[in-house]
Structure formats: structure tokens, C-alpha cells
Amino acid sequence: MFAIVVGLAAGLTMGFVLDISYPAEYSFYITMGLLASMDSIVGAARSMMEERYNNFIFISGFITNALLAMVLTYVGDKLGVPLYFAAIFVFGGRLFNNLAVIRRVAIDKYFERKTRKEEVKNNQNIEE
């Protein structure tokens, strides 16, 4: 968890400090790639909370999802069809779904810890 916070802080710092620019016509493709990347990151957080995280799956999904979203946007742009909506619906929907699961898992773990603490407290009272 610490590595995630450090990585996020380093990425945000580099984003604000470094003066990186790109042509405006690429901004839509980059936006779609960022949406897909955010989906991968939230999916990784979910799998970490469910204790089934795999680094290879995360990295491959991160790259593949970002490339797929950008390619869909590019092909749709060339065909005159808004295929980027597919990326928005799929990755946006998965983001909300993963966040809902993360919330449920976090609440379950909270109540599980709370119950365990109460059981330990009750066992200590019985022993006395």
C-alpha cells in the first residue's frame, strides 16, 4: 500500500513539475488512454483488496487497455464513427463497478476487524 501512495505522489509531482507538452490533436487519444489506465489501476486495487493481485496481469492489462482505447479512438476518428464511446462506456462502467466492489470489501473488512476485536475483548473478560 505504501508503494502505491509513493508512486501516486511521484507521478503527480512529475506531472505538475515537468513541462511536457504534446500536440492538441492527440489530447483526445491520450484522454481515452488515461481512462483505460485508470480502470486498470482501480482493478489492481480491487484485486489487492481481494488478495489475488498479480503484477504481470496488471502491467499487461494496463498497457493493453490503454492501447485498445487509443486505437478504438483513432480508428473511429478515421472512419468518422465515434468509437471512443465504446471505450468510455466499457472502461467507465468498469471503474464504477470496481469502486463499488472496493467499497464493499473495505466495509466487510472493517466489520470483520471490529468483530474480531470484540471477540478478543470478550475472551479477556471471561479469563479474568
Identify whether the C-beta of residue 94 lies closer than 8 Å to the C-beta of residue 43. yes
Q: Considering the entire predicted model, what is its pTM?
A: 0.76
pLDDT of residue 11: 84
67 occurs within a structural domain: yes
Q: For residue 121, tell me if it sits in a domain.
A: no
Question: pLDDT tens, 66-76?
Answer: 888 888 888 98
In a domain, 63, yes or no: yes
**What is the number of structural domains in the chain?**
1
How far, in Å, CA of 115 to CA of 68, rounded? 44
- Does a structural domain hold residue 5? no
Measured between alpha carbons, how far is 113 from 101 in angstroms, rounded to an integer?
18
pLDDT tens string, the chain, 128 residues long: the values are: 677 788 878 988 998 898 888 888 888 888 888 888 889 989 998 999 898 989 899 899 889 988 888 888 889 889 988 888 888 898 899 999 999 999 999 999 999 998 888 887 777 767 66
Tell me how far apart the alpha carbons of residues 41 and 91 are, in angstroms, rounded to a whole number: 11
Q: For residue 81, what pLDDT is reported?
A: 87
Q: Which domain range does residue 75 map to?
A: 22-98
- Does residue 49 sit within a domain? yes
